[in-house]
Structure 1
Amino acid sequence: MNEKLSVMELLKRAAKLLLFSNISLPFFLFLCSLPLFCFLIFFELSLQTTVSLTYQFLSQELELGGYFYLQDHKDLSENDLVPWLIQTSLLYFFPYALLDLLTTTVIVAASSVSYTSEDEEPLGLLCLVQRSTKICRKRLLGCLITSLYVLLLSTSVFFGFFSDSVNYLFVFSLSRDYKNFYYHTGVLFHAVVALIHGTVFIVLAVKFGKWSAGWNMGLVVSVLEEEDGKGGIYGTNALSLSYWYGRGHEKRDLLMMLMFSVFAIVTRMPCLYSTCSERSSGNGVLYTGIYVGLICVGNVVKWVACVVSYYDCRARVLEKKDDVEIGSKAKAFAT
């Protein structure tokens, strides 16, 4: 308890729990992740098409064709782009958010049951399912409320990323309209604009990583924490408690969230760059299925690591609380 767990130690414990503690756990989590996996293939294909059309439309409207080479370029209108934006947004806010919440709740509950099990023999699949279902049934409404808060906060940050990127492209395109001005000061002006917007983007990325660590811990709290005689903890109370548990572990949690975020982005980039959704041979769906499978595996590891981090942080907080209470009682006795 004296040494804080590092990111690698958390990941090692999560991998040990998944691979060596109980064979029923990875099999159960695999079954629970199948609906999300199937839906993500369809969602990612829609996302790839939306990103490709958005890129072409912005390049066309901002006259960036000389700077960004487009293959099979064709003139696009808002009517070509808007339906895909609406479809992808609706898929993200309703089916994806709900499936992700259900999958997360089951992963957290099952990981907690296996992690805290004191039985000498590993839990059987039926027992694991029963205990996990019992937890999920009690906490699902609270987790839904907490997830709505998280969805609202994360969407606000994504709008910040989007606004920063669009504003950068808009300012850059305006500077090109003034040819004489751009000829004399274009390089310096572009460098300053890129520096400002790049700084904003990096700050938002770091803040998002830090906040997402607290949001993830808040969801874990909503699943596992129980207030004395009052049921579960959810909403703003769960988020406040998660930040209390995470005090002193901010750098570790930030690094872990950034690792999983970079992993998710890197696995998506090849298909986004090569527009797998536009391939008629079927290879695009195959490649999309492969990286969606990797994302689902990373998602399971992330939430198991969050469960391990939750129990570690909670134990340290309770230990400090007991030390303070013992110290205050000893001081009162001495006086």
Structure 2
Amino acid sequence: METNLIMHNQKKGVLDILKKALQISSKNINFIIFILIISSPLFCFLVYYEFFLQKFLVETFENLYDPPDYFYYYWLEIFHIAERLNKKTFLEFIQLVFLYLVPLHLLEFCTVLVIVDLTSKIYSEERPMTLKDLLNMPVEVTRLKGTFITFVYVAILSVCTLLGLTWLVTTYFILLRSCFSYVLFAAVCGAIFVSVLTIYSALSAECNMSIVISILEGIYGVEALALSAYFSRGNYRCGLNLMLVFLLWGIGLRLPCLYFGCYEEGYGIVAQISLVCLGNALKWIVCVVYFHECKKQILEKKYDEEVGTDVSAVD
């Protein structure tokens, strides 16, 4: 009973994990410098990608948007939407999909690999490291292939969930926004959207932990996902809230840029991507801390069960 109470008191919440992640960053200036260096290729690509993406979204919205009365006969007008999405729009969409699935994920994979590995070593040793120490801590090459397999699994799950969210938003915008039951449909779509968003956040926590497990433990693919789900037991809400924080961070940065048309000038995009990269680095530091805390709780629980079994056997 006392042991379980101590474990409960030691269980870290969302704020505790965020605080620990910030401590790791703030107390290791060389670590921050190193992360900025290795994140520079991803930063440059994201600036280009975000310009392209926001321009595409704004132009597509303008092509599709008409006053609500126009959609009075929306079941017939759906067939005319394809006519307004010309060949250029289709080719740009294909290009965006390719950029998102291939270069963006490959650059993110390389960045995540280094951040997770170094964060774990700093977390374990609990001491500041010099830039020389960081440079002399190479990632194990033998784990690259297996980690990449896990990363591909996670990317597929993430893309499928994002497609579900996109489909909901598109359905609401094209089909339901002028319906006579506007409020009802908006409520239904909103409820479904929140549910899918919650599932996406919870899934992100487990998937990101599986990548951390592959990098640190050498367990890959489905086994890494299963072990991540096992470690997450009892911490479902914590992981969900952590990923929701960073998801809202990204959305909160993008929406103002879309509204003010930052892609036309560029300074806003650069500022946005700088904050996005900062949040992305912090997210993976948080994932490492979250993994270590979950693992520690599981090991303590197993130890208590073994001690309890031994005590019962002696009695």
Equivalent AA in structure 1 for residue 233 of structure 2: R
* Pairing of 1:100-115 with structure 2 (within 5 A): 100-115=108-123
How far did residue 76 of structure 1 move? 4.7
Equivalent residue for 1:257? 243
1:119-198 matches, cutoff 5 A: 122-131=128-137, 133-135=138-140, 137-172=141-176, 175=179, 186=180, 189-198=181-190
Q: TM-score, normalised by structure 2?
A: 0.88
RMSD: 2.2
Is residue 29 of structure 2 the alignment partner of residue 13 of structure 1? no
Unmatched tracts of structure 1, length 5 or more: 67-74, 176-185, 226-231
Q: Secondary structure at the match of 2:139?
A: helix
Which residue number in structure 2 is paired with residue 181 of structure 1? Answer: none
Measured in 1, the distance between the counterparts of 2:71 and 2:175 equals 16
Aligned partner of 2:125: which letter? S
Which residue of structure 2 lines up, in the alignment, with residue 297 of structure 1? Answer: 278
1:90-121 CA distances to partner (integer Å, 9 max, x unpaired)? 100000000011101110001111111266xx
Q: Does 2:4 correspond to 1:4?
A: no
* Aligned counterparts of 1:310 and 1:166: Cα–Cα separation in 2: 36
Per-residue deviation at 1:329? 3.1
* Alpha-carbon distance between aligned partners in 2 of 1:50 and 1:64, rounded to the nearest angstrom: 23
CA–CA separation in structure 2 for the residues paired with 1:215 and 1:113 = 21
- Check the 8 A contact 1:110/1:129 in 2, yes or no: no
Matched residue, 1:178: none
Q: 1:42 aligns with which of 48, 51, 57?
A: 48
Counterpart residue number, 2:105: 97
TM-score, normalization by structure 1: 0.83
Q: Is the 8 A contact 2:39 2:111 kept in 1?
A: yes
The size of the alignment, in residue pairs, is 298
Identical aligned residues as a percent: 34
What 5-or-longer segments of structure 2 have no aligned partner?
1-6, 73-82
How far apart in 1 are the matches of 2:154 and 2:305?
A: 33
- Aligned 8 A contact 2:71 2:178 in 1: no
